[in-house]
C-alpha cells in the first residue's frame, strides 16, 4: 500500500513554546502522524533555539528558498498527496508552484486567524472608532480571500470567522473547514493535581510580543488597568510573560508598582499553574487565543474582553469574566482573585469548555476522513470551486510573475 505523504510549508519553523500559532501547527502535525502520514516540513525561514525538534517525531525537515525553481525540483521528487500552507502569505509564494508541479495534490490552507480581520480591528482601535464590517474590505482581505479561494480547503479555527467568510464574503462552506485547537480531555486525575486556590498568588498576562495584539494589551494593562487594579489589590503583583521581549517591553518593568516583566516562559502551562488569575484585556485580534486554552488546561480562571473570548465558549459560561469596561474589568478581577467559591466555579467552567468544545477526539478522525474523501473527489470538488481555477490562470498570477522576475534578477 502506497504511503501517504503530506508536506507542510511553514512561514516559520514551529515554536510551540513561543506562540499559539506554533502550538497549533504541532497539533496539526500530531494529527497527521496519528493518520500514518509521512510528514515533511519545509520552510525558508531560519531556525531558532526554540524551534520544535521535528526530526525526533519522525518528521523530515527541508530547507527551501523563496523565489527559486529549486522548490519545483524538491516537490516534484516528493510528490505529496496533501500540501498544507501555513498562512496565506505562504500560499501566495508556493501555491502556484504546487499546482503546477503536483496538480493532483490537495492544497490546504491553515489560516491560523483571519489576518484582515485582526488588522481592521487594530486600525479601528488606533483611530478610536467603533469597528464595523465595512472596514474588512481591504487589500489584505483581497489577498487572503483570494488565497482561500485558490485552495481546495481552508482550515478556520474560529466559528466567528467561519460566519464572516460565509455571510460577509459569500465563501462556499464546501471549501472551509472548522478545526479548533485540538486538546486532550481534562481528567479528574489532572484536576486533583492542580494547585489549589490558597497555594496560588498574583496575576499574570502571557503572549508573544511579536504579535501586535499582545504588545498592545501589555501597554493597555500598564496605562489603563493596573493603575486602578493595584490600588484594589496592593499586595498583589502582575507578572508579564512573553517570547521575544524587546527593550521597549523590558523598560515597562517597575518593581515599585508590582508590574514585572518576566520574559519568556519555557512552558506556558507550567508557569500559569502557579497564578491565581490570568488578566487579558485584549482590544483587538482574531482567531482563538491559545493563552485561554492554557489557562483552562491548568485550572486558571481568567478575565478578558469580548474580543479576547470571541468564539471560544459557544453557549457555555466563561472560566471567569468577560468585561470591556476598564473599571468593571478591575472590579471583577478583584472578585475572582479574592472569592474562592467564585474562583472554583470559574475553574469548573473552563473544564467544561475544554472537554465539550476542544477535545481532540471530537475532531481528528472526522478531519482525516474529510481529507481522504476530498482527495478522492478532487476533480469534482475543483469544478464546483471553478473560481479557484480562474485565480490560478496566468492572467491572475501577479505573485507568480513577480516571483519569477525576482528569481531571474537574483541569478
The pTM of this model reads 0.94
CB under 8 Å to 321, separation ≥6 — which residues? 303, 304, 329, 332, 333, 335, 336, 346
3-state helix, strand, coil in the chain (%, to 5): 50, 15, 35
Q: Output the CA angle 82-88-3, nearest 5 degrees.
A: 10
Taking CA atoms, 187 is separated from 275, 290, 299, 359, in Å, by 20, 20, 12, 11
Q: Write down how long the chain is.
A: 411
Residue 396 has a pLDDT of: 59
CATH 3.40.50.2000 boundaries in the chain? 5-183+360-410, 188-358
Residue 75 has a pLDDT of: 98
Whether the Cβ atoms of residue 86 and residue 10 lie closer than 8 Å to each other: yes
Residue 397 has a pLDDT of: 65
Task: Give the CATH number of domain 188-358.
Answer: 3.40.50.2000
Alpha-carbon distance of 32 to 37, in angstroms, equals 6
Whether the Cβ atoms of residue 22 and residue 87 lie closer than 8 Å to each other: no
Sheet with strand 259-263: strands edge to edge: 259-263, 238-241, 203-206, 277-280, 302-304, 320-322
Query: 394: helix, coil or strand?
Result: helix
Query: 14: helix, coil or strand?
Result: coil
Query: 208: helix, coil or strand?
Result: coil
Residue 298 has a pLDDT of: 98
pLDDT tens across the length of the chain (411 residues): 678 999 999 999 999 999 999 999 999 999 999 999 999 999 999 999 999 999 999 999 999 999 999 999 999 999 999 999 999 999 999 999 999 999 999 999 999 999 999 999 999 998 887 777 788 999 999 999 999 999 999 999 999 999 999 999 999 999 999 999 999 999 999 999 999 999 999 999 999 999 999 999 999 999 999 999 999 999 999 999 999 999 999 999 999 999 999 999 999 999 999 999 999 999 999 999 999 999 999 999 999 999 999 999 999 999 999 999 999 999 999 999 999 999 999 999 999 999 999 999 999 999 999 999 999 999 999 999 888 888 887 655 677 777 888 888 888
Q: Which CATH architecture has domain 5-183+360-410?
A: 3-Layer(aba) Sandwich (3.40)
Cell numbers for 410: 537574483
Amino acid at each position: 500500500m502506497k504511503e501517504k505523504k503530506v508536506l507542510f510549508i511553514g512561514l516559520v519553523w514551529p515554536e510551540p513554546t513561543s506562540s499559539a500559532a506554533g502550538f497549533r501547527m504541532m497539533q496539526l502535525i500530531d494529527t497527521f502522524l496519528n493518520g500514518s502520514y509521512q510528514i515533511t516540513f519545509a520552510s525558508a525561514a531560519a531556525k531558532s533555539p526554540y524551534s520544535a525538534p521535528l526530526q525526533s517525531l519522525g518528521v523530515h525537515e527541508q530547507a527551501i528558498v523563496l523565489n527559486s525553481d529549486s522548490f519545483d525540483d524538491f516537490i516534484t521528487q516528493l510528490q505529496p498527496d496533501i500540501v498544507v500552507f501555513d498562512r496565506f502569505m505562504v500560499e501566495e509564494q508556493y501555491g502556484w508552484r504546487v499546482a503546477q508541479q503536483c496538480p493532483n495534490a490537495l492544497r490546504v490552507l491553515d489560516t491560523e486567524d483571519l489576518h484582515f480581520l485582526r488588522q481592521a480591528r487594530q486600525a479601528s482601535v488606533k483611530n478610536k472608532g467603533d469597528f464595523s464590517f465595512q472596514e474588512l474590505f481591504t487589500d489584505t482581505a483581497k489577498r487572503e480571500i483570494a488565497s482561500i479561494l485558490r485552495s481546495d480547503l481552508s482550515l478556520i479555527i474560529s466559528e466567528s470567522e467561519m460566519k464572516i467568510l460565509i455571510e460577509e464574503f459569500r465563501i462556499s462552506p464546501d471549501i472551509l473547514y472548522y478545526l479548533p485547537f485540538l486538546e486532550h480531555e481534562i481528567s479528574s486525575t489532572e484536576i486533583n493535581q492542580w494547585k489549589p486556590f490558597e497555594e496560588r498568588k498574583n496575576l499574570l498576562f502571557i503572549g508573544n510580543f511579536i504579535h501586535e495584539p499582545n504588545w498592545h494589551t501589555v501597554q493597555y494593562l500598564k496605562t489603563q488597568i493596573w493603575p486602578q487594579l493595584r490600588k484594589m489589590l496592593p499586595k498583589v503583583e502582575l507578572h508579564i510573560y512573553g517570547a521575544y521581549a524587546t527593550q521597549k517591553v523590558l523598560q515597562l518593568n517597575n518593581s515599585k508598582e508590582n508590574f514585572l516583566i518576566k520574559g519568556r516562559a519555557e512552558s506556558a502551562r507550567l508557569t500559569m499553574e502557579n497564578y491565581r488569575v490570568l488578566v487579558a484585556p485584549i482590544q483587538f485580534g482574531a482567531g482563538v487565543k491559545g493563552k485561554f486554552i492554557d489557562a483552562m488546561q491548568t485550572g486558571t480562571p481568567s478575565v478578558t474582553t469580548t474580543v479576547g473570548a470571541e468564539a471560544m465558549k459557544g453557549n457555555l459560561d466563561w472560566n471567569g469574566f468577560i468585561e470591556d469596561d476598564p473599571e468593571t474589568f478591575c472590579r471583577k478581577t478583584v472578585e475572582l482573585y479574592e472569592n474562592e467559591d467564585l474562583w472554583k466555579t470559574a475553574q469548573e467552567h473552563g473544564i467544561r469548555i475544554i472537554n465539550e468544545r476542544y477535545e481532540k477526539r471530537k475532531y481528528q478522525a472526522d478531519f482525516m476522513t474529510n481529507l481522504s474523501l476530498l482527495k478522492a473527489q478532487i476533480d469534482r470538488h475543483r469544478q464546483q470551486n471553478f473560481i479557484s481555477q480562474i485565480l490560478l490562470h496566468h492572467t491572475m498570477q501577479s505573485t507568480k510573475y513577480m516571483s519569477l522576475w525576482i528569481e531571474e534578477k537574483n541569478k
